[in-house]
Chains A and B, each alone.
Chain A
Amino acid sequence: MKKSFMLVAAAFLAFAGTAAAQNSASTTGHASARVILPITIGEDQTLAFGGFFAGATSGTVDIATNGVSGATGTRTSTGGVTLYTGSQAGAWHQNEFSIEGEIGFTYTTVITNNTFNLTGPGSPMSCTMTAPVANGGGSVTVVGGESPDNDDVFRGGSLSVAAFQASGSYAGTFTYAVAYN
Chain B
Amino acid sequence: MKKVNQLFMLVALLAGLSSAAIAQTTASTSGHASARVITAIGIQNVSPINWGSLIPGSGGDATQDVSGIGPVTGPTPQPPVTTGGVIAIAQGSMDAIHTSPRGPATFYAYGEPNFTVAITLPAMMDLHRIGNPGDILHVDNFHHNNVGTATLVKLVPSDAVGVLFFVVGATVTVPAGSPRGWYDGDFQVSVAYN
A residues near B (Cβ < 8 Å) are: 36, 38-43, 46-54, 61, 84, 86-90, 95, 97, 111, 116, 118, 120, 122, 125, 127, 157, 159, 161, 165-180
Q: Are A175 and B31 in contact (CB under 8 A)?
A: yes
Task: Please determine whether B35 and A52 come into contact, CB atoms closer than 8 angstroms.
Answer: yes
Interface residues of B (CB under 8 A from A): 23-40, 112, 115-116, 160, 192-194
Contacting pair A53 B40 (CB below 8 A): yes
Interface pair A173/B30, CB less than 8 Å apart: yes
Contacting pair A169 B28 (CB below 8 A): no
What residues on B are CB-neighbors of A111 within 8 Å?
A: 31
Closest to A96 in B: B31
Let me know if A51 and B31 touch, CB within 8 A.
no
Given A88-B116, A167-B112: A125 in contact with B31 (beta carbons within 8 A): no
Contacts A43-B32, A157-B33, A173-B31 aside, 6 further interface pairs with beta carbons under 8 A come to A39-B25, A54-B37, A171-B33, A173-B30, A174-B31, A177-B26
The answer to whether A118 touches B34 (Cβ under 8 A) is yes
Shortest distance from the beta carbon of B46 to any chain A beta carbon, whole Å: 24
Closest B residue to A36 by beta carbon equals B24
Q: Which residues of B contact A42 (CB under 8 A)?
A: 29
Whole-angstrom distance from the CB of B27 to the nearest CB of chain A? 5
- A71 smallest CB distance to B (angstroms): 17
Q: Are A179 and B37 in contact (CB under 8 A)?
A: no
B35 touches A48 (CB 8 A): yes
**Distance of A177 Cα from B25 Cα, bound (Å):** 11
Distance in Å from the Cβ of B145 to the closest Cβ of chain A? 22
Question: With A87-B194, A88-B193, A167-B112 known to touch, is A177 a contact of B27 (CB < 8 Å)?
Answer: yes
A173 touching B36 in the complex, CB below 8 Å, given contacts A38-B23, A88-B115: no
Cα distance, A127 to B32, chains bound together (Å) = 11
B34 with A53: CB separation less than 8 A: no
Closest 6 interchain pairs by CB? A38-B24, A177-B28, A49-B35, A179-B26, A46-B32, A47-B33
Find chain A residues with CB under 8 A from B33 CB: 46-49, 95, 116, 118, 127, 157, 159, 171-174
Taking the closest CB of chain A, its distance from the CB of B112, in whole angstroms, is 7
Q: Given the known A-B contacts A46-B33, A167-B112, are A86 and B25 also in contact in the complex, defined by CB atoms under 8 Å?
A: no
